[in-house]
A and B are shown apart, each in its own frame.
Chain A
Amino acid sequence: MKESIRPSAFSALGIAGALVIWQVLAAANVAGNALPSATTVFATLATILGTGTFWSALGATLGIAMLALAIAALAGVVLGLLIGSFESVRYATLAVLEFLKPVPPIVILPLAVLVLGPTAEMALFLVVFGCLLPIVMQTVDGVQGTDPVARDTARSYGMGEGEILARVVLPSAMPYIGTAMRVAAPAALVVTVVAGLLGGGPGLGQSIYQAQAAGDYASLYGLVIVLGVLGLLFQGATRLAERRVLHWHESYREVVP
């Protein structure tokens, strides 16, 4: 009993300690008015949470991130199945994919802003660009990793190519796709914020930019705290969804004693 209480006691101590340090540093005026005190920030945050602009910005951020994630997932899985199923397509796309993989969406942000303007479409495009490739590559790996015996068994049962793809290859690629989605979901949120912050797209990123440009530091800190909480929620939600969808897979099966 005592053992299990100690970690959470230390956690509470850590959080309280950080807040106290923050408060003391702000009170000591180390950074002038650029570092508002913790109490000011949380009071400002409470006011922000009561405004309609905050909730519409939050809605825009979540809407863009999730819509783009859905588009990227659908397109990524289809492309991945295609690339993974045909050797010639795989070789044709290998070099291009390997080059684009380490290029983050922020690199093409100026181009997206130039062509699409500071709009939701621009943000959507960037998020899809950022999430698509990892999903494609993981799906290809999943298709490649399909057990050949399962494939042959399906064939000898007289399944057509389409049925094998839907009933054997896709389910066996599912854990790979799940991993890709778990990485892509927080990334979608990050890219949406970047598109708002640097590209002027709608959402919380834009709110942060405005707070910084206006020198409204308490709102700036408050919004960043909101983003931290949002990031945690996104990570938790994807983990939960992955567990739900993949409950049949051996790495998720619960052992019944």
Chain B
Amino acid sequence: MRNVAVRNWVIGAGTPVLLLAAWWFLSANSADPFFPPLETILIRFQELWLFDHFQSDVLLSLGNLFLGFAIAAVAGVVLGFVTALVPPARWMIDPLIHFLRGIPPVALVPIFISLIGFGTQMRVTSIALAALFPTMIATVDGIRSVSNDLMDVARVYRLSRKERVLNVLLPAAMPQIFSGLQVSLQVAFIVMIASEMLGSSQGIGAMTLLAQQSFMTADMWAGILLLGVIGFLVNILFSLLKRKVLSWYIGSRRMARAA
């Protein structure tokens, strides 16, 4: 039994290492312009991102990402509460929301470029608006699935409207809100890259696309590598945050399953 566990662990850790080694050695003397040696890519990675363009491009991209995401998160939750709790508001904006959600988020970027221009403002606006919908829709769903018993108890205890919203509805809808936030974060990441690729000269996405257009393949690979790592890390960090905030919920689920 223990042997199997050890074997699985070795396979699990060994495969990525093997793949990376294969990439390193197979590309070692590559003259193919599209697939430069991994060594060259890593050297360019170090030269570009650590720390020459770190402040001017990496921090800029990440700043836009987090600012846009933060706006989307707050606005999404607030709008979600308003639509879920005020039926006329829900009836009014429901069809509009569904229509806007059907538009690929990246397709909104050209519209914002034409309205606001190419600056940081446009990028943050695009990210915030595109990332708004998943959180908002998840919030509405979360509030609607709060059990009536819970709301009845809150009413019997004569909790004020504010207490009911902040102390009963918000925690009860939290698990769904966080699922929505995770989707929003992914959308925000995609729109961050897209907003930089469409005619901007700053940011990781812009640098990666410019490198591709000027056939600086190693630079392009370095950009792809950085974007991949950022996408992975941002997701991991959010999962950790989610686990921390929702620990009460995960615990209660585990208890319910054990019972």
Contact = CB atoms under 8 A, between A and B. Distances in A.
A18 interface: yes
A106 B102 contact: no
Interface in A184-208: 186, 189-190, 193-194, 197-198, 205, 208
A94 interface: yes
Contacts of B251: none
A11 B111 CA distance: 25
A88 B221 CA distance: 31
A216 to B, nearest CB: 10
A14 B92 contact: yes
Interface residues of B, number: 59
A34 B114 contact: yes
Interface residues of A, number: 62
A42 to B, nearest CB: 14
Contacts of B224: 107-108, 110-111
B84 to A, nearest CB: 14
Interface stretch (A73-81, A226-234, A240-248): A226-234
A14 B95 contact: yes
B235 interface: yes
Contacts of B208: 110
Nearest to A94: B12
B95 A91 contact: no
A201 to B, nearest CB: 13
16 contacts: A6-B91, A7-B91, A11-B92, A14-B92, A94-B12, A95-B15, A106-B190, A106-B197, A110-B220, A114-B34, A115-B34, A197-B109, A198-B197, A217-B114, A227-B102, A228-B100
Which 10 residue pairs spanning A and B have beta carbons closest together?
A: A231-B102, A14-B92, A10-B91, A102-B235, A110-B212, A212-B110, A190-B104, A228-B103, A232-B102, A91-B12
